């Protein structure tokens, strides 16, 4: 253990961890009356050239300022107390979160119940919505980086990857801001492993974290579909509701474009699936099925777990209420107990049908012939199956033409069938074109959420040769949240440019700085100090012409002919291409990028 004080102030108490980036210590602040405990991260920059080291040091300070901003304005991100350099190493001093990581919790107590997992997901998604809104990608979401704080049991997100990138950048000065691979194998999306992370990469990592909470399985313990690259985990999660499965499946899609577009969208889907399930379960007929084993509370429409989660959803957005984080009931208890489970059959929405087919308890199998979610037979015309509907035609040639078109677009499972072959769908003599067949509703809903973006008329339904079977129709509108109306700019882009440089000429640099997007501030403006250093050399900026190149209701690209009059003398003309977005909150245009023309 270190015998001397770091920064002549911090006494190291123990080593918390270490790796390629440096070490992490638990320390106490000797200059605080309470000897406040804190976490110190020692980061080892890779830089042999003194000039390169100075560049990295400057960037380290800028990234530390970002962490300070994140922690100051959000209750569930650790605060940054200080940053300093000593003996050629960089140090961050952060708030110590007294609590238990998700990894530690599962090791000591076992997998979490569904209501608890949903609550944790909702909390982390709210944090990500805030972080992504700042233009920051976390890049290392995993069970070890989510701590359940002891004081209130609320999840806290730790260990952002931005500063790690700074200290690990190569020694080529031209590549100071180049992206390197930050993250943990298994929890990293493929594009992140290739050094190109997106906001959707955090969504992917959170989805795998949810699977770990529900099943206790790390990504390396799960199989992968060799054709699609998707993670196979349902076999370990028979107790998980169909709605939550569908939400997680979309989060962990292989291609970023197939995942949720934002943390807010995933949060909406998480809440929507639960509400839809409640509505469906409360309005459907029930059938009693005798089974041997334990009751799974989260599958029942009015279980205490789901009541608890509904209470959480009703809480204010800024402070999600967290119930006591309990364990899921084990399905491996010895002994046989016969119970009566009331299942909702034929439901709409994300809950769909409780899968009672071939339920296994110990060595005994119980099969309900009343439940339509049975495996699809291998013959061309099975007795029943779920399908993702595309369109229907009265003439067979038109249906065949549509099937060919879909297959040409990559939907290799597309086909058609005569509706009258499945009496539960009605007696209309039309040919139903579908994208794919499924053996259960949740898999169909996962694809519906994706395909429904392209075809709003698409839906999932159940085809059966039993005329009395329920159709169980779920439409795209049921599972895809309606987009919120986009903000419409009330000031022209040309005026937005003139207003911005008007602030510069009036020496209102702080206001001008706030009209740059967070990512622009980090990547291009190079910190507030550099921003001020530049503009304090300029006496004034004149604007000759501003031309709109492209404009939508809330974004624009313009070309501006400018001239900078330096205080030291001389005039320097420049034409800038400026990319702008409209910020409804401040009613101003925000600069997101500028390029010389």
Query: Residues near 361 by Cβ (< 8 Å), separated by ≥ 6?
Result: 291, 292, 293, 336
At residue 194, does pLDDT exceed 60? yes
The pLDDT assigned to 229 comes to 75
CB 281 within 8 A of CB 301: yes
At residue 310, does pLDDT exceed 60? no
Name the pLDDT band for 328 (thresholds 50, 70, 90). very low
Say whether 331 sits in a helix, a strand or coil: coil
Site of tokens 């404009």: 551
Mean pLDDT for 365-386 is 50
d(CA 154, CA 223): 31
Name the pLDDT band for 308 (thresholds 50, 70, 90). very low
Residues comprising the binding site for ATP? 41
pLDDT tens-place string over residues 559-592 = 999 999 998 888 889 999 999 999 887 889 999 8
Domain ranges of the chain: 1-96, 99-158+183-371, 372-484, 493-596
Mean pLDDT for 460-470 is 92
Question: What is the crossing angle of helices 114-133 and 304-313, to 10°?
Answer: 20
pLDDT tens-place string over residues 289-299 = 222 233 222 33
pTM for the model stands at 0.48
- Is 140 catalytic? The answer is yes
At residue 3, does pLDDT exceed 70? no
The pLDDT assigned to 547 comes to 92
The pLDDT assigned to 479 comes to 86
d(CA 74, CA 402): 51
Topology of the domain comprising 1-96: Phosphorylase Kinase; domain 1 (3.30.200)
The pLDDT assigned to 447 comes to 87
Residues comprising the binding site? 41
The pLDDT assigned to 181 comes to 54
At residue 484, does pLDDT exceed 80? no
d(CA 573, CA 98): 56
- Give the lowest-confidence range in 265-269, 325-329, 444-448: 325-329
> Residues 140, 249, 390, 478: which is the catalytic one?
140
Q: Which CATH architecture has domain 99-158+183-371?
A: Orthogonal Bundle (1.10)
Site of tokens 């076992």: 110
The pLDDT assigned to 360 comes to 31
The DSSP annotation for 382-449 comes to -SEEEEEEEEEESSHHHHHHHHHHHHHTT-TT-EEEEGGGSGGG-S---EEEEEEEESSHHHHHHHHH
d(CA 378, CA 481): 35
The pLDDT assigned to 374 comes to 36
Mention the CATH class of domain 493-596.
alpha beta
User: SS3 letters for 100-145?
Assistant: EEHHHHHHHHCCECHHHHHHHHHHHHHHHHHHHHCCCCCCCCCHHH
């Amino acid at each position: 253990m270190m015998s001397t004080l770091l920064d002549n102030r911090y006494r190291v108490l123990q080593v918390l961890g270490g790796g390629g980036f440096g070490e992490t210590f638990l320390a106490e602040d000797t200059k605080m009356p309470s000897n406040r405990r804190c976490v110190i991260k020692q980061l080892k920059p890779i830089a042999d050239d003194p000039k390169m080291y100075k560049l990295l040091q400057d960037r380290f300070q800028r990234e530390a300022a970002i962490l300070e901003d994140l922690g100051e304005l959000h209750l569930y991100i650790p605060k940054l107390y200080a940053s300093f350099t000593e003996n050629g190493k960089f140090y961050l001093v952060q708030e110590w979160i007294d609590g238990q990581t998700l990894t530690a919790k599962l090791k000591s107590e076992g997998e979490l119940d569904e209501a608890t997992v949903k609550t944790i997901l909702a909390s982390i998604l709210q944090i990500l919505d805030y972080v992504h809104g700042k233009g920051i990608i976390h890049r290392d979401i995993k069970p070890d980086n989510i701590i359940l704080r002891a004081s209130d049991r609320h999840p806290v997100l730790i260990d952002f990857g931005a500063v790690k990138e700074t200290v690990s950048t190569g020694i080529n000065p031209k590549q100071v801001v180049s992206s390197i691979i930050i993250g943990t194998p298994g929890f990293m999306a493929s594009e992140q492993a290739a050094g190109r992370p997106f906001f959707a990469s955090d969504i992917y990592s959170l989805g795998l974290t949810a699977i770990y909470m529900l099943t206790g399985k790390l990504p390396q313990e799960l199989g992968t579909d060799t054709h699609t690259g998707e993670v196979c985990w349902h076999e370990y999660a028979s107790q998980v509701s169909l709605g939550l499965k569908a939400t997680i499946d979309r989060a962990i899609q292989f291609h970023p474009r197939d995942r949720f577009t934002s943390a807010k969208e995933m949060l909406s889907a998480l809440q929507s699936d639960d509400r839809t399930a409640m509505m469906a379960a409360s309005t459907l007929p029930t059938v009693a099925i005798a089974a041997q084993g334990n009751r799974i509370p989260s599958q029942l429409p009015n279980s205490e777990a789901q009541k608890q989660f509904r209470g959480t959803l009703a809480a204010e957005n800024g402070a999600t209420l967290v119930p006591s984080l309990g364990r899921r009931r084990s399905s491996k208890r010895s002994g046989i107990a016969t119970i009566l489970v009331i299942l909702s059959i034929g439901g709409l929405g994300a809950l769909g049908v409780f899968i009672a087919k071939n339920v296994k308890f110990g060595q005994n199998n119980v099969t309900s012939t009343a439940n339509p979610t049975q495996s699809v037979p291998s013959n061309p015309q099975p007795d029943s199956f779920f399908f993702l509907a595309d369109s229907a035609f009265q003439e067979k040639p038109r249906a065949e033409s549509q099937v060919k078109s879909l297959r040409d677009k990559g939907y290799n499972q597309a086909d058609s069938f005569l509706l009258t072959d499945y009496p539960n769908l009605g007696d209309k003599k039309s040919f139903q074109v579908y994208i794919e067949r499924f053996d259960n509703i949740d898999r169909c809903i996962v694809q519906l959420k994706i395909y429904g973006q392209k075809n709003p008329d698409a839906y999932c339904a159940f085809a059966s040769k039993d005329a009395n079977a329920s159709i169980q129709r779920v439409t795209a509108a049921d599972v895809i949240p309606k987009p919120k109306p986009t903000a419409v700019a009330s000031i022209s882009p040309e005026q937005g440019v003139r207003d911005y440089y008007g602030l510069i000429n009036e020496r209102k640099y702080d206001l001008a700085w706030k009209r740059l997007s967070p990512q622009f501030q980090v990547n291009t403006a190079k910190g507030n100090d550099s921003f001020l250093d530049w503009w304090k050399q300029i006496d004034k900026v004149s604007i000759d012409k501003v031309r709109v190149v492209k404009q939508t209701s809330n974004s624009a690209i313009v070309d501006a002919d400018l001239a900078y009059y330096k205080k030291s003398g001389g005039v320097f003309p420049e034409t800038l291409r400026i990319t702008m977005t409209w910020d409804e909150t401040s009613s101003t245009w925000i600069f997101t990028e500028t390029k010389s023309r």
